[in-house]
Amino acid sequence: MLLIEMIGNAQSYVRTGKNFGFFLGGAPIATTASNMKQLSTNTLSFSAGFMKMPIPGITFSAGYGYSQFKHASPTMRTFPYSSAHSVMGSILADKRIAKLQQKKVRGMCHYLSLGLLVGVDYTYMFGSRLLPNESNGEIAGQVGLSFCHVYSGSGKRTRSQTNHFDVFYRQGFTPAITLTNTGEKLSYYRCELGIRVRLMRHQVYDFLK
């Protein structure tokens, strides 16, 4: 009877393939400049948005960004913006390459998953009414590493969420900002070293019911 009751109360959750997530990122080391040979840390950027994972390891995201510019650097003394808002979309591939710190705690296997990140994104940065941004938008690439705490089990909490922590380098290939100021047209490019947290929630169901 006890065995029958244990089987009746057993739960084994399986993911349905449907998911939804959020991300929050920041770039404490970033450069915005018309000449990328004169690099200096003159930009502080933040971003947040939503994510969707259609297949494992591939993430689509859309979000909002905010950038604060410092005018102390030589390449930014004539830059007219002190801050800017932007919208963005990206495709990110996360390939697991190694398991770190594998151990067993209370009968469950825990390990830190190390992943390789490769992505491409599009960002449109808004200018001001007096001096609009003439750029068609920035196309950029990024590479980096992701870290994810993984533990075995078929419980609801184990299967319904994954949290990733990223460190990445991002380089713009097209101008983020193009301005015509006092008759001169200038284009500004961006590169940054950033960190990001990705919180993914998965829809699950009890396989034994």
What is the predicted pLDDT for the residue at 202? 74
Domain spans in the chain, listed from the N-terminal domain onward: 2-206
Residue 14 clears pLDDT 50, i.e. is over it = yes
Residue 145 binned pLDDT confidence (cut-offs 50, 70, 90):
very high
Task: State the pairing for strand pair 138-151/13-33.
Answer: unpaired
Q: How confident is the model at residue 4 (pLDDT cuts 50, 70, 90)?
A: very low
* Segment 150-163, tens digit of pLDDT: 766 555 666 667 88
The CATH code that applies to domain 2-206 is 2.40.160
Q: Amino acid identity, residue 4?
A: I
Interval 45-96: pLDDT, tens: 999 999 998 988 899 999 999 999 886 455 555 677 888 999 999 999 999 9
Task: Write out the DSSP string of 24-55.
Answer: EEEEEEEEEES-TTS----EEEEEEEEEEEEE
